Amino acid sequence: FHHIHILYQYWLIKNWLKNKESSFMFQVHDSFVLDISPKDLNAIEDIKTILSKYNDMIFDVEIMSGKNYMECN
């Protein structure tokens, strides 16, 4: 189940990013690392909504930010 959920969320995020300046960088376990363009910052709540729902279930989503990956840890 967990792998299906992650693959589904990955697909949704990749589709959401199609017309954006932001990009999907990589996945670490159950985390997605995205490079969000300053033009897309207002859409972070959209990303959180996409990641928090699967079928009829709701998941907690934690968003971390930083100038680079090391600052997010």
What amino acid is encoded at 19 in this protein? N
Does the pLDDT value for residue 73 go beyond 70? no
pLDDT bin (cut points 50, 70, 90) of residue 1 is: low
Tell me if 51 sits within 8 A of 61, measured CB to CB.
yes
3-46 residue pLDDT tens? 777 788 888 888 988 989 999 988 888 788 889 999 998 888 88
Does the pLDDT value for residue 2 go beyond 70? no
Tell me if 53 sits within 8 A of 19, measured CB to CB.
no
User: Residue 39: what are its φ and ψ, rounded to 5°?
Assistant: -70, -20
The DSSP code for 39 is G
Averaged over 38-56, what is the pLDDT?
87
Lookup: tokens for 25: 């960088």
Residue from 54, 43, 21, 55 nearest 63 by CA: 43
What's this model's pTM, rounded to 2 decimal places?
Answer: 0.73
